[in-house]
Amino acid sequence: MASSSTSPLIVNNDLQSKQEFFRSTRATVTKLLLGFLVLAIVIVGLVTHLQQPEIVDNSSNGDKPSVDELSTNPLLDNDLKRFLTKLETNAQVEWQRSAYHFQPDKNFISDPDGPMYHMGWYHLFYQYNPESAIWGNITWGHSVSKDMINWFHLPLAMVPDHWYDIEGVMTGSATVLPNGQIIMLYTGNAYDLSQLQCLAYAVNSSDPLLIEWKKYEGNPILFPPPGVGFKDFRDPSTLWMGPDGEYRMVMGSKHNVTIGCALIYHTTNFTHFELKEEPLHAVPHTGMWECVDLYPVSTTDDENGLNMGDHGENVKHVLKQSGDEDRHDWYAIGTYDVVKDKWYPDDPENDVGIGLRYDFGKFYASKTFYDQHKKRRVLWGYVGETDPPSDDLKKGWANVLNIPRTIVLDTKTQTNLIQWPIEETEKLRSKKYDEFKDVELLPGSLIPLDIGMATQLDIVATFEVDQRMLESTLEADVLFNCTTSAGSVQRGVLGPFGVVVLADSERTEQLPVYFYIAKATDGTSKTYFCADETRSSKDPTVGKWVYGSSVPVLEGEKYNMRLLVDHSIVEGFAQGGRTVVTARAYPTKAIYGAAKLFLFNNATGISVKSSIKIWKMAEAQLDPYPLSGWTS
């Protein structure tokens, strides 16, 4: 058993992923070249200024001078100072790019569209600007994969080239028709930005890569109905068949300014749609609903997902919407009446838009699909940047997609979903791992974990709280909330405790992910799962927040978290995925080999015992598909 006064020494390996090694090597080579450059300038300066007093170099005992030291060197002109600063900045920008999350080689990406499994390939379409790293010129990118981790990029699927989508080929969904034909319903932004619903289809549905797509000659197939604003009508869902043999489709909208709603349409031929008199569901004061999704979940099977044709007494339906005004993805669990085409929440106090979210961090515009190959429902969303758009233009890219997650109902609580990284993610893990067992974390403890490079990681950690201390605490932080707290520096009797990622050795930059327990006078407790970005970067221009929410912890369960650390993105899963928080970080110091990992307990009234496993993660393949005569 390790003590809180020393670092645990159960280290199985110091394996570094190949891509991290190359990134680090490039940074080292850059620094060496800078050193040689500075040395040459100093020699020239000494020859030129032989009559001056001797210049003594006191920088770092002979190590390469820092940029700050170089900038004050009188032998360097202003152009060279700017050049050196730019090189250091480029190293930071290069480090920010993810290694195993999906993103194009360059430019802007956002909403996932039309995900599906077809003839041995997973297909992912996505909103993409092929010309810039900021929003605009929205086109559909297209990539394929055998495992949803390693990808091949294909030619663009659809571009804005007709009057009805000239301002953007916006969000849409895929449907496989009974005859095997594959169609896409999508929103087109017309010249005046009115939102029109359009149809496209695969030219050859027998092509495993589905490379060629054609827009329906009769587009648009739907205009905003009476009473709906011309910019308040978007994002058609996947079609499904009802008991009457007609197909259904839902759309996001709002009415009376503030009432968010899901409109529902019927069709029999996929080109003419009939709007039902009442919406599928509506919730006051939730604003415009985007990217509406409706799908079934089993109340008894937490291993397999369900397709839309699955019904029965052991089935609930999830209704989800992306809130255009608050930029969060909200969901609720309830009952879908397949005859009346109405959905009802199990808990009206946690209705869509006012209760539960997929992710309490940076995550938006998500879409699920049923993976018939592995009988699972998979969730995709996009993770936006929190740095200024000017920085995105400089680095040449913006945004990533989350690691795809399986999604099922929590059969133990029956009140929330379980999200978990797809099993294929573990293919990127190193064969060996670092493990620290039974680490004692006394109040105020901070334990460094010596694992080497710490920027591409898969971390699984458990925490056992001293039950005697917990039970003897009568009341603690009843009003606590992650988002209104002061972050991990706010010390309470029963929290925070967790893991610090992306920290430099002095912790001037750090991103803590942690649990915080609040306890009421009646003896009940409530656990929160938080991520604190407030000290994640010394850069004052990037956004930094404290994210998080409550998470159910059932009797007999240890507190547990899984963290996927991938440079500037950290995805956190608490209690097996009951609550998820995604954070962004743009450190200026805690990059490459300078990034460190810690365990901590900043509570004042409890001791915690932690065990943690850490895998280094390899880089995912993101390459152009080898098509003759085409490059991405």
Q: For 282-315, write each residue's pLDDT tens digit.
A: 999 999 999 999 999 999 999 999 999 898 889 9
Cα–Cα distance for residue pair 88/30, rounded to 1 Å: 9
Q: Quick check: 15 pLDDT over 90?
A: no
Q: Which helix (H) or strand (E) covers residue 213, if one does?
A: strand 213-215
Q: Are 532 and 498 within 8 A, CB to CB?
A: no
- The three-state DSSP-derived secondary structure of 99-162 is CCCCCCCCEEEEEEEEEEEECCEEEEEEEEECCCCCCCCCEEEEEEECCCCCEEEEEEEECCCC
Residue 528: pLDDT band with limits 50, 70, 90: very high
Q: Write down the pLDDT at residue 149.
A: 98
pLDDT at residue 630, as a whole number: 67
> What are the backbone dihedrals phi and psi of residue 389, each rounded to the nearest 5 degrees, phi first?
-55, -30
More confident residue, 387 or 29: 387
Band of pLDDT at residue 338, cut at 50, 70 and 90: very high
Is 50 exceeded by the pLDDT of residue 3?
no
Alpha helices in 416-543 (DSSP H): 467-472
Q: What is the three-class DSSP state of 291?
A: strand
Report pLDDT for 196.
98
Give dist(CA 501, CA 576) in Å, integer: 20
Nearest to 576 by CA among 550, 599, 551: 551
DSSP 617-632: BPPPPEEE---TT---
What does pTM read for this prediction?
0.86
Q: What's the average model confidence in pLDDT over 241-249? A: 96
Closest CA to 505 of 590, 612, 601, 441: 590
Q: What is the pLDDT of residue 307?
A: 94
List of residues 6+ apart from 626 with CB closer than 8 A: none
Give per-residue pLDDT as tens, 557-606.
Answer: 999 999 999 999 999 999 999 999 999 999 999 999 999 999 999 999 99
d(CA 417, CA 402): 17
pLDDT tens string 534-559 = 999 999 999 999 999 999 999 999 99
* The token pair that represents 468 in the structure block: 């005697």
Asked about 111 being catalytic, the answer comes back as yes
Q: What's the mean pLDDT in 361-387? A: 98
Q: What percent of the chain has pLDDT over 70?
A: 86
Please tell me which residue in 63, 105, 111, 450 is annotated as part of the active site: 111
What pLDDT, in 10s, does the model give residues 394-452?
999 999 999 999 999 999 999 999 999 999 999 999 999 999 999 999 999 999 999 99
Dihedral sign, Cα of residue 448, residue 450, residue 455, residue 461:
negative
Question: Is the pLDDT confidence value at 89 over 80?
Answer: no
> Which of 293, 417, 436 shows the shortest CA–CA distance to 355?
417
If you average pLDDT over residues 202-217, what whole number do you get?
A: 97
Cβ distance 174 to 200 under 8 Å? no
Work out the mean pLDDT of the chain and round it to a whole number.
88
Q: Write the DSSP string, 272-285.
A: -EEE-SS-SEEETT
3-state secondary structure of 306: coil
Residue 588: how many other CB atoms lie within 10 Å: 17
Lowest-pLDDT range of 55-64, 71-80, 334-343, 611-620: 55-64
Q: What is the mean pLDDT of residues 128-150?
A: 97
The kind and range of the H/E element at 20 are helix 18-48
CA distance 387 to 406: 29
Report the candidate in 222, 296, 305, 302 with the shortest Cα–Cα distance to residue 265.
222
The whole-number average pLDDT for the span 241-265 is 96
| pLDDT value at residue 88 | 55
Mean pLDDT value across residues 135-163: 98
3-state secondary structure 338-352: CCCCEEEECCHHHCC
Cα dihedral 617→622→626→630 (10° resolution): -160
**Residue ranges of domains in the chain, CATH in brackets:** 109-421 (2.115.10.20), 430-617 (2.60.120.560)
| Helix%, strand%, coil% for the chain, nearest 5 | 15, 40, 45
- pLDDT computed for residue 328 by the predictor: 98
Interatomic CA distance for residues 472 and 605, integer angstroms: 10
Find the range with the poorest average confidence among 57-61, 229-233, 604-608. Answer: 57-61
pLDDT tens per residue across span 455-513: 999 999 999 999 888 888 888 889 999 999 999 999 999 999 999 999 999 999 999 99
